Structure 1
């Protein structure tokens, strides 16, 4: 099907006013914005739904890698979002996980957005740091620094099979997901809140997917949108910076030749398609 990029740095079709089955809003907090746009658009192009995608940024963020004027020209700020025009949201990860939440410059703005999406019960995916942030805002979950960076591809060993979000996994294929982070999610010692469910987890890294069906919120601890070379590029970048990092695990077919096994591609597409199907069903119900 067709994906209409309503704006963005990579390939916005500014002449496109064609209606789509679903309108998605992506709050792109990643520093490599154009590359992140392409990752999501490439996956969504495989969907059987016509999708419109609009990219947003927090206005209170001070950009280091790109000029603020460029972002303002090609993105919408969060206060320009019209809730009734967006059928589903994705909030990306961000390279701020080693900071306390309240030291992130756009923290107050993001908190407000998380709370408003929960009140509106709009379907939303929070990824990596954004998942930690949303779980903190909504339920008080904490995070902790890891001794070393987690990087690699991890497979879920425990999956809630009857969830619409995990449809097609297990007997239909493994749920594999890229992980790239310096912190771990801290689960409450008293147990999870009644409304939060772990849908998939891997023994080496803990939860991969969590969900609150009442709030229509999904929390993803990794980066299912990552394409083949991203973890390798991050690893080489970290080595150039002199950081003590390990090679991504379960990623290279031949580490000496840096040959990559793109083993998570179909799992990522299936996960996003499952979520899109749920968002489409909720839109139908909302419009009845």
Structure 2
């Protein structure tokens, strides 16, 4: 089944060229299937590229997904025209009375700041608190994973001596968990960040479990034991050239970046993470969302109050 997107979203052209199955809302309403209602809070500067990355993964499952794109009201992106945001995005105030099967929050280039110093921190914490009773399952990526772990569990972060950039080998730690079902014992995933979690606190927390980690990159996938919150510290959604473009950007800025590790082979990008990325998102949508969320969206609050 396809992912459902707005009629004129620019990412549709890219997806069509790549033969990713999607449909417009106009076509979807004629089908007798309730699509999963998924909100995606896009905190990345390049909105359209991030949309494409997540749509590739959400559009490659057997489930129909209807996406609602969200942006912050308290911070205006400098890289995306206001007209684009007004056409394709909504703010929290516009959806606060709705219920969603799932919420995805992307990474954000604010990780070197203390959480409370981020311009939209208060708005984000309001969204996280709202999600507890309005969203069945949430998926947090990179900085959003750090922010959510801090908000929900008080788990902090610390600055790394140098940026962690590259594609790293990971090991599955909880093989019987549905979220990592079908994963190879060892798999690859990209990381791109300046900070790391307080892993001692994470491993010790009785409500959390680490599902996959890396000797070089640390914890990769963690989740609440009730399955409702998934935290991914890397960027499985990254496309082939994202790390390359970030490296070139940092070079041009005079930051003297480290070459992304395990990324180039003979001068070419070697994509090692694509199959795992698709499996991660399909497992999450199937086992953590579709198999558990109430069919009637208005029943979500009742279900969560009694869980």
CA contact (8 A) 1:23 1:52 kept: yes
CA contact (8 A) 2:38 2:101 kept: yes
Shift of 1:63: 2.1
Shift of 1:9: 5.3
Aligned to 1:281: 291
The C-alpha deviation readout for 1:191-250, integer Å capped at 9, x for no partner, is: 522111111000111100000033600000011111111111111111111112111111
Aligned to 1:225: 237
Give the Cα separation in 1 of the matches to 2:262 and 2:184: 19
Q: Secondary structure at the match of 1:105?
A: coil
Question: Given the alignment of the two structures, is residue 64 of structure 1 paired with residue 63 of structure 2, yes or no?
Answer: no
Give the one of 123, 131, 143 matched to 1:117.
Answer: 131
Shift of 1:66: 2.3
Question: Given the alignment of the two structures, is residue 102 of structure 1 paired with residue 116 of structure 2, yes or no?
Answer: yes
Aligned to 2:270: 261
CA contact (8 A) 1:121 1:215 kept: no
CA contact (8 A) 1:122 1:215 kept: no
Give the one of 88, 107, 121 matched to 1:93.
Answer: 107
Describe how 1:93-242 pairs up with structure 2 within 5 A.
93-120=107-134, 122-170=136-184, 174-189=186-201, 192-214=204-226, 216-242=228-254
Give the Cα separation in 2 of the matches to 1:285 and 1:66: 35
Give the Cα separation in 1 of the matches to 2:34 and 2:264: 38
Gap change, CA 1:169 and 1:60, over 3 Å in 2: same
Shift of 1:284: 4.5
Give the Cα separation in 1 of the matches to 2:81 and 2:216: 39
CA contact (8 A) 2:172 2:183 kept: no
Unaligned runs of 5+ in 2: 13-22
Shift of 1:45: 2.1
The CA RMSD over aligned residues, in Å, is: 2.3
CA contact (8 A) 1:6 1:16 kept: no
CA contact (8 A) 1:6 1:52 kept: no
CA contact (8 A) 1:92 1:127 kept: yes
Give the Cα separation in 1 of the matches to 2:149 and 2:250: 28
